[in-house]
Amino acid sequence: MEPLNLWSAATYDRGVPYEYFRYLRDSKPVVWQEHPRWGGFWSVTRHVDVQRVSRDSECFSSQPNPFLLEDQPPSTYDEATSGMLISLDPPDHTKMRKLINRGFTPRRVRDLEGRIQATVDRLVDQVSNRRGCEMVGDIAVELPLQVIADLVGVPEEDRHQIFHWTEVTFGFDERFSPEERHQASVDMFAYADRMCEIRKNEPHDDLISVLMEAEVDGESLNQLQIDVFFMLLQNAGSETTRNLITTGTLELIRHPEQMQMLRDDPSLIPNAIEELLRYTTPVMQFVRRPRYDTVVGDQEIKAGDPVVLWYVSANRDERVFDNPNTLDITRDASQHVSFGAGGPHFCLGASLARLESRIMFEAIVDRFDGLELDVDDPDSLPRLHSNLIDGYAELPLRWRAVKPAA
């Protein structure tokens, strides 16, 4: 098969090249691919190898950041990202993650359940007197943003401003210039500064206050670290979950017998979410670099060479999953690597993402009667222009009726 430019967002404009990944897994599981700025990178496509690299943080570094560059020159944003939790290596990572974990306890996540339910009810109520909607803009974008805002402690009146900055900084909308993106991130930092300033005199019951007070071994987070984490959360928590919700809904509509199983027995929803995570893989890859020469699979890798971990391929590895290209909400999909393949960077928000999507899918299954796609050819739906996040830019839906919330 001809090599594809896996680094280029354009490669994913018409969907993930699953056949090409299968070919790589079978014949070149660790392969050198050309890159316009890096010279090249190693593509790792088998589940076993993705796991091995993810878990070996002594050898594999996430510095300067774990992002697969396109062909643009490095920007100030790339510099800013090197201090993010997701880019740090142990022992700095371990220390910061411990501090941040203080604000991410299971209790804190559980406590959000009532508010998430209220947000889901409100979002569905808002479209309930219509016969259709555009799911990305009307529902899926809003839910994770509101949940993060609840968690962090952003007051209602400021939320749309934060949502706008998040879209400009991280969105895949090519209308925004690099200067506009930079300005939006500066504004977001200044906003986080003000939130901290207010809480210095008057602590709130929210994540920002917890992070300001957290101490591990006599160390606490400084202002810049809190600002950077605030920004990472907006991105990591929202761009990802929204795509699980939209692509998951699309796939359930495309597999009506599985949607029916969930209607008949909603207790299957948590398992269905694991399978939808596997099947849709919202985060396609992250990058690591070995500190010293090493071997992955049978391939020798030189220190410093970028290594791309293709979660989207590992999740379809036939060595781990039977009939991997079949969506089966009853299968045991627990080996999926959609939140990472183990190791210190495993998704911090996994339980929150599971909670949000459970409540959302319960509403989709229970409240929408006669739910279907409002488009003749689902393959023509516009997708996100990204080499990192897989998902749809729009998802038009229609229905017969929407039931009131239980």
Site residues for ligand HEM per CB under 6 A: 54, 85-86, 97, 148, 232-233, 236-237, 240-241, 244, 282-283, 286, 338-340, 343, 345-349, 352-353
User: Nearest approach, Cβ of 339 to ligand HEM (angstroms)?
Assistant: 5
H or E segment to which residue 187 belongs: helix 178-201
User: Toward ligand HEM, which CB reaches closer, 43 or 241?
Assistant: 241
**Among the listed residues 235, 250, 232, the one whose alpha carbon sits nearest the alpha carbon of residue 392:** 250
When the beta carbons of 97 and 316 are compared against ligand HEM, the nearer one is 97
71: tokens are 């062909």
Residue 336 beta carbon to ligand HEM: minimum distance, rounded to whole angstroms: 10
Nearer to ligand HEM, 191 or 346 (CB): 346
Report the residue number, 239 or 305, with the smaller CB distance to ligand HEM: 239
CB of 286 to ligand HEM, least distance (A): 5
Contacts of 329 (CB under 8 A, 6+ apart): 258, 261, 262, 268, 271, 272, 275, 276
Q: What are phi and psi of 22, to 5 degrees?
A: -65, -40
Minimum distance, C-beta of residue 347 to ligand HEM, in the bound complex (Å):
3
Measured from the CB atom, is 81 or 241 closer to ligand HEM?
A: 241
For residues 247-270, one letter each, b for 16 or more C-beta atoms within 10 angstroms of the residue's C-beta and e for the rest, the string is: bbbbbbbebeebbebbeeeeebbe
Instruction: State the nearest-atom distance from the C-beta of 244 to ligand HEM, in Å.
Output: 4
Segments in 255-349 forming alpha helices (H): 256-264, 269-280, 311-314
Q: Which residue lies nearer to ligand HEM by CB, 276 or 402?
A: 276
Beta strand spans in 21-162 (E): 30-35, 39-44, 60-61, 132-134
How far is it between the farthest Cα atoms of the chain?
63
Backbone angles phi, psi at 340, to 5 degrees: 105, 165
Closest contact distance (angstroms) between CB of 139 and ligand HEM is: 15
72: DSSP letter: S
- Taking the least distance from each CB to ligand HEM, the nearer of 233 and 252 is 233
Contact predicate 133/397, CB 8 Å: yes
Q: Name the residue nearer to ligand HEM (CB basis): 341 or 402.
A: 341
Burial annotation 277-313 (CB, 10 A radius, 16+ → b, else e):
bbbbbbbbbbbbbbeeebebbebebeeebbbbbbbbb
Buried b / exposed e over 376-397, threshold 16 CB at 10 Å, is eeeeebebbebbbbbbbbebeb
Tell the smallest beta-carbon distance from residue 345 to ligand HEM (Å).
3
Closer residue to ligand HEM (CB): 232 or 320: 232
Shortest reach from residue 346's CB to ligand HEM, in Å: 5
**Residue among 140 and 402 whose Cβ is closer to ligand HEM:** 140
**Residue 79 CB, nearest approach to ligand HEM (Å):** 18
Tokens 């929202």 identify what position? 238
**Smallest distance from the beta carbon of 90 to ligand HEM, in angstroms?**
10
Nearest to 226 by CA among 206, 211, 237, 207: 211
Distance CA 249, CA 367 (A): 13
